[in-house]
């Protein structure tokens, strides 16, 4: 009787530990724009001021920006509010 109870209790604790570790590991892996810093190139612009940015790593982000054109190089996330800015060409 005690052996069966101990075996059942041990199994329940094991299942609980496995489930809790899976739940903790499944946290939100996506960062918001305010938490992430990246540079990229504008690949698409829509009529409402939205732009699609493609980074050198191949990730795509949808951002809002005024005056952006396809081919512009921009930097996002340098400021805490996640704002994106056009990178100006450095002149010598």
pLDDT attached to residue 91? 47
3-state secondary structure of 30: coil
Whether residue 28 has pLDDT greater than 70:
no
Please count the other Cβ atoms lying within 10 Å of the Cβ belonging to residue 51. Answer: 22
Whether residue 6 has pLDDT greater than 80:
yes
Look up residue 1 and give its two tokens.
């009787």
Instruction: Name the pTM for this structure.
Output: 0.53
- The domain segmentation of the chain, as residue ranges, is 38-86
**Of the given ranges (12-16, 24-28, 30-34, 75-79), which has the lowest mean pLDDT?**
30-34
pLDDT attached to residue 92? 47
Pick 38-86's CATH classification: 1.10.10, 2.30.30, 2.40.50, 3.30.460. Answer: 2.40.50
Beta bridge partners of 42: 53
Nearest to 65 by CA among 56, 76, 55: 76
pLDDT attached to residue 44? 92
């Amino acid at each position: 009787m005690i052996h069966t109870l101990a075996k059942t209790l041990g199994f329940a604790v094991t299942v609980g530990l496995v489930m809790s570790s899976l739940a903790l590991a499944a946290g939100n892996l996506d960062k918001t724009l305010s938490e992430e810093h990246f540079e990229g190139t504008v690949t698409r612009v829509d009529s409402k001021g939205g732009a699609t940015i493609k980074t050198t790593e191949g990730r795509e982000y949808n951002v809002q920006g005024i005056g952006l054109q396809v081919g512009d190089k921009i930097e996002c996330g340098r400021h805490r509010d996640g704002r994106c800015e056009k990178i100006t060409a450095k002149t010598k």
